Structure 1
Amino acid sequence: MSEQAYTYTKVNTAEISLPAGVTVQVKAKSNSKLTQKVTLKSKDGSVDTVFSGTGEKNAQLGETTITTGESFLLHAVFEFAGDDGVFQPSKLNSGGPYEIGRYNMLVVVAENGDDSDYNDTILEFSWNTK
């Protein structure tokens, strides 16, 4: 099933396609003192989620579960706010899907420009195949 999943990133937006008929765990984490924000929206309107916060050492910003239908596409917008509180676009990178037995994972990571480690925001999608 992982061949049906992909991610495409452009500037601070990721298009994420997930396989049909699976339950997907979504987790957002932070490794930054600056406020990070990820907004998830699906084309069909079934997902409209915002993860936001700060923290180091993979601090949990939030998690949710998505059950996909026939065709499932998400858009994730990544932003960060400096000391002035104004949100700006993050830079993105992605990986996966990775298939380990029945376990599948797809990751989108964001950099806010204070270094170049691409771990300021981490958005993980994971699911099991039958």
Structure 2
Amino acid sequence: MDDKAYVYVKDNQAEIRLPAGMTVQVKVKSNSQLTQKVTLKDATAGVDLEFTGTGERNTIIGDKTITAGQRPLNAVFEYAGADGVFKPSKLNSGGPYDIGNYHMMVVVAENGDNADYNDTILELSWHTK
């Protein structure tokens, strides 16, 4: 089993591989007045998270610690306008970034009101020995 971390985005979904057994900080931020939603799932590791919220200036709408499983996480990014109907966001990603024993991956989402790709920010970080 390869424990190399990666993130692969397609449409409004991201496949996220984290080193198995690693304790990972999951943080979700909003920079939009529209409701943002991020769903993270990995049935084998018991991860079933949903973060929903709004806010500007990197408002934290989710903060959780998980233990990475053997399989990749599936993340789905959506936003809802005034009608309350959730629509798919557009994604971009970066990382893993390695700074000594600190590691981080980022998935950013755009809901189409501009092109800054910061409407939702998913940060995954962990430390190695």
Instruction: Please tell me the TM-score bracket, short chain as reference.
Output: over 0.9
State the number of aligned residues. Answer: 127
Match of 1:99 in 2: 98
Task: Indicate if the aligned counterparts of 1:43 and 1:73 stay in contact, CA closer than 8 A.
Answer: no
The runs of at least 4 consecutive aligned structure 1 residues that moved more than 6 Å come to none
Match of 1:48 in 2: 48
Task: Indicate if the aligned counterparts of 1:28 and 1:62 stay in contact, CA closer than 8 A.
Answer: yes
**TM-score (normalised: structure 2):** 0.95
Letter in 1 for 2:53: G
Match of 2:10 in 1: 10
Q: CA deviation at 1:73?
A: 1.2
**TM-score (normalised: structure 1):** 0.94
Q: CA deviation at 1:67?
A: 1.3
Match of 2:82 in 1: 83
- Secondary structure of 1:92's counterpart equals strand
5+ residue gaps, structure 2: none
Q: CA deviation at 1:45?
A: 5.4
Letter in 1 for 2:7: T
- Secondary structure of 2:115's counterpart equals coil
Letter in 2 for 1:24: V
- Secondary structure of 1:44's counterpart equals helix
Letter in 1 for 2:80: A
